[in-house]
Amino acid sequence: MAKIQKIKGFVDLFPEEAAKFTFMEKSARETFERYGFGELRTPVLEKTELFQKSIGEDTDVVGKEMFTFPDRKDRSLTMRPEATAGVVRAFIESKTHQPGKISKYFTFGPMFRYERPQKGRQRQFHQINAEIFGAPEAQADAELILMLKTFLNTIGLTKLTIELNSLGCHECRPTYKQALVDYYKSKDKENFCEDCRRRMETNPLRVLDCKVPACKELVVDAPVITDHLCDDCEVHFADVKSILDGAGLGYELNPRLVRGLDYYVRTCFEVASYDIGSQTAVAGGGRYDGLIKNLGGGDCAATGFAIGMERLAMLLDKLEADTPDFYLAVVDGAASNQAMLFAQQLRDKGLKGDVTYGGGSMKSRMRAANKSGAKVCLIMGGDELANQTVTVKDMVGDEEQKTISQADYLAGI
């Protein structure tokens, strides 16, 4: 019979790889809690319009990459392609916002984007997210970037650089958009791909983010947003940079960084690694002050980031698992039940280790014990069963072997 295989672009994580994910989540949780963040878990499935209204109809994510399907009552649902929209929806729905109040949330979990799978790009991938609501100030953006850098340092990734830009606001961006449109016209619209010809009318910034080589080349000399910022945006951006400079955090200004989602204003940033193939972005984020209002909430500023866990995992060395305390080898099937009960008593005392099922030859059991890396091998056969003893072989020191009563062994732990 044909084997059932996993869906294209979806991945199974076996213990060695899963350990890296647990490690990242644990480190993120510890770091983020030090900055006053609390965990929020939101559903994987949301109404499609949530993403259409927040990420933007003209983005690749909404236009081409969502896992969208009707439910049994023909309502359009979407597997979340990112966490921010759902976190904002939950925040609005919970009515926790009061003017002047700051809320800080982090969230971990799987996201879904129907992209062409390749190294570092999957259809189900995992993100670590952090969002701050209620703070229009530049200090919140700087705090997020400092927290992101602290987290990366904590997990041993000290060499990653942060690219930084400001995308302006609703005041200054229209002038910039017009400058872009004028530039595109000067390059002859026909030379751009079909999507970009449409984007020029609907969302000129998106053209800067196009992956088609011809379009990429055409925008090389396009005007940059940082030459068009209004005074307030200039001051805001200067504050972010000044805090990061004060903290000695290395960043690169990239006036061409526009991000792939439409909700951003002012500060935006990305962390890139050139050691993991063509998908270089390991994290990205920025400010999205208008989104809460657009989704029916109050006037509440917002800023955040997301880290791609698969891409970070590629940069992490294999994690060494803790050495087991014992390996309980049953060499006579008759002792199996007693061995299982003894192993349970060892585990109840907090020890970590494995017990074999059924009987087996001493030779194969000792080979497996060695392979397990356990500190001691405990042997149980017919004699040990009859005498309520266990034979203890030291696996790290002198490899001495002695037989003692099970009760004495347990009492000595």
Please tell me whether residue 113 binds ligand HAM under the rule CB under 6 A. yes
Q: Residue 330 in contact with residue 355, Cβ under 8 Å?
A: yes
Please tell me whether residue 284 binds ligand HAM under the rule CB under 6 A. yes
The smaller minimum CB distance to ligand HAM, of residues 110 and 324, is found at 110
Please tell me whether residue 260 binds ligand HAM under the rule CB under 6 A. yes
Q: Which stretch binds ligand HAM (CB under 6 A): 171-179, 213-221, 237-245, 279-287?
A: 279-287
Task: Look at strands 161-166 and 251-253 and give their pairing.
Answer: parallel
Q: Which stretch binds ligand HAM (CB under 6 A): 33-41, 180-188, 275-283, 356-364?
A: 275-283
Instruction: State the minimum distance, in angstroms, from the CB of residue 123 to ligand HAM.
Output: 7
The smaller minimum CB distance to ligand HAM, of residues 286 and 359, is found at 286
The smaller minimum CB distance to ligand HAM, of residues 285 and 359, is found at 285
The smaller minimum CB distance to ligand HAM, of residues 115 and 239, is found at 115
Please tell me whether residue 281 binds ligand HAM under the rule CB under 6 A. yes
Instruction: Among 311, 343, 374, 380, indicate the residue that binds ligand HAM (CB under 6 A).
Output: 311
Q: Residue 34 in contact with residue 151, Cβ under 8 Å?
A: no
Instruction: Among 148, 215, 300, 306, indicate the residue that binds ligand HAM (CB under 6 A).
Output: 306
- Report which residue's Cβ sits closest to ligand HAM: 308
Instruction: Among 122, 165, 166, 273, indicate the residue that binds ligand HAM (CB under 6 A).
Output: 122
Using CB under 6 A as the binding criterion, the count of chain residues that bind ligand HAM stands at 26
Task: Look at strands 326-330 and 376-380 and give their pairing.
Answer: parallel
Residues 130-159 that bind ligand HAM (CB under 6 A): 131
Instruction: State the minimum distance, in angstroms, from the CB of residue 268 to ligand HAM.
Output: 8
Please tell me whether residue 56 binds ligand HAM under the rule CB under 6 A. no
Instruction: State the minimum distance, in angstroms, from the CB of residue 377 to ligand HAM.
Output: 43
Instruction: Among 129, 165, 226, 406, indicate the residue that binds ligand HAM (CB under 6 A).
Output: 129
Task: Tell me the Cα Rg of the chain.
Answer: 28
Instruction: State the minimum distance, in angstroms, from the CB of residue 313 to ligand HAM.
Output: 10
The smaller minimum CB distance to ligand HAM, of residues 267 and 406, is found at 267
Please tell me whether residue 308 binds ligand HAM under the rule CB under 6 A. yes
Instruction: State the minimum distance, in angstroms, from the CB of residue 270 to ligand HAM.
Output: 7
Please tell me whether residue 162 binds ligand HAM under the rule CB under 6 A. no
The smaller minimum CB distance to ligand HAM, of residues 219 and 313, is found at 313
3-state SS, the chain, equals CCCCCCCCCCCCCCHHHHHHHHHHHHHHHHHHHHCCCEECCCCCEEEHHHHHHHHCCCCHHHHHCCEEEECCCCCEEEECCCCHHHHHHHHHHCCCCCCCCCEEEEEEEEEECCCCCECCECCEEEEEEEEEECCCCHHHHHHHHHHHHHHHHHCCCCCCEEEEEECCCCCCHHHHHHHHHHHHHHCCHHHCCHHHHHHHHHCHHHHCCCCCHHHHHHCCCCCCHHHCCCHHHHHHHHHHHHHHHHCCCCEEECCCCCCCCCCCEEEEEEEECCCCCCCCEEEEEEECCCHHHHCCCCCCCEEEEEEEHHHHHHHCCCCCCCCCCEEEEECCHHHHHHHHHHHHHHHHCCCCEEECCCCCCHHHHHHHHHHHCCCEEEEECHHHHHHCEEEEEECCCCCCEEEEEHHHHHHCC
Contacts of 297 by beta carbon, 8 Å cutoff, 6+ apart = 88, 91, 92, 97
Please tell me whether residue 316 binds ligand HAM under the rule CB under 6 A. no
Residues 73-112 that bind ligand HAM (CB under 6 A): 82-84
Please tell me whether residue 283 binds ligand HAM under the rule CB under 6 A. yes
Q: Which residues bind ligand HAM (CB under 6 A)?
A: 82-84, 113, 115, 121-122, 125, 127, 129, 131, 260-261, 281-286, 288, 304-306, 308, 310-311
